[in-house]
Amino acid sequence: MVAGTRCLLALLLPQVLLGGAADLIPELGRRKFAASTGLSSSQPSDDVLSEFELRLLSMFGLKQRPTPSRDAVVPPYMLDLYRRHSGQPGAPAPDHRLERAASLANTVRSFHHE
């Protein structure tokens, strides 16, 4: 249950930080949230965002935002997988045999060996 909650919060963090730019939160829901918190616009206040970020960081046992290394390697097959899943133009065609199995997956791991 805790892992599911953490995943949900991790997925919602970009949505909150971007102010609902991807419209995952319906306009009606944003208006209800704004009305219940006393905010006049659909954009969360800086205080709300800071509090949300602090809670997420503490849930993951972090004191500050992680900073990815500039030397981080993203394997090409992971980029292809991301492009295919996000539906970007020019992405490789999906393999229909794996489509059902992939639709049930919720985790992707990748290992880079030098």
Instruction: Give 108's contacts (C-beta < 8 A, 6+ positions apart).
Output: 78, 81
Residue type, 46: D
Q: pTM to 2 decimals?
A: 0.36
Q: Which two tokens stand for residue 78?
A: 């992971």
Q: Is the pLDDT of residue 82 over 60?
A: yes
Does residue 89 lie within any of the structural domains? yes
Does residue 114 lie within any of the structural domains? no
- pLDDT grade for 89, boundaries at 50, 70 and 90: confident
CA proximity to 57, closest of 46, 68, 66: 66
Q: Is 54 found in the same domain as 22?
A: yes
Does residue 112 lie within any of the structural domains? no
Does residue 113 lie within any of the structural domains? no
What confidence score (pLDDT) does residue 102 get?
A: 63
Residue type, 55: R
